[in-house]
Amino acid sequence: MSDAKLYVGNLSYNITDQDLLDAFAPCGEVTDCSVLTDHDTGTSKGFGFVTMSSAADAQQAIQDLNGQELGGRSIMVKVAKPREARGGREDGGRGGRYRGGRGNY
């Protein structure tokens, strides 16, 4: 069976990748986990992703952990949505009037 990726939200900013692994391991085999961090500061963004080895393990994790406390906060666990193309528009463009550079004033 294929991997199942979960979104984990409302994480304490002190939660590490290892903390996520420790929390999700009792639900089944964890194949990957990561807390997302700000590129510039390295601080947690308060959410992360956990990949379970099967859909059944992922469903077990949702059932067992959604709404439970981790690091002093009630976490949200749900199936991760596929990543959308950057820009959020069908044409992939940024749109808007200003495109950077110097304008004709």
Looking up residue 61, the CATH number of its domain turns out to be 3.30.70.330
Asked whether residue 98 is domain-assigned, the answer is no
| Mean of pLDDT over the chain | 87
Q: Which helix (H) or strand (E) holds 20?
A: helix 17-24
Cα of 65 vs its chain's centroid, Å:
15
Number of domains in the chain: 1
Question: What is the pLDDT, as a whole number, of residue 92?
Answer: 52
Please report whether residue 95 resides in a domain.
Answer: no
87: in domain: no
Domain hosting residue 64, numbered range? 4-79
Mean pLDDT of 32-49: 96
Q: What's the confidence (pLDDT) of residue 3?
A: 81
For residue 103, is it within any domain?
no
pLDDT at 75: 98
For residue 100, name the pLDDT band (cuts at 50, 70, 90): low
pTM: 0.77
CA-based Rg of the chain, rounded to a whole angstrom? 18
Task: Classify residue 101: in a domain, yes or no.
Answer: no
Query: Is 75 among the domain residues?
Result: yes
19 in any annotated domain:
yes
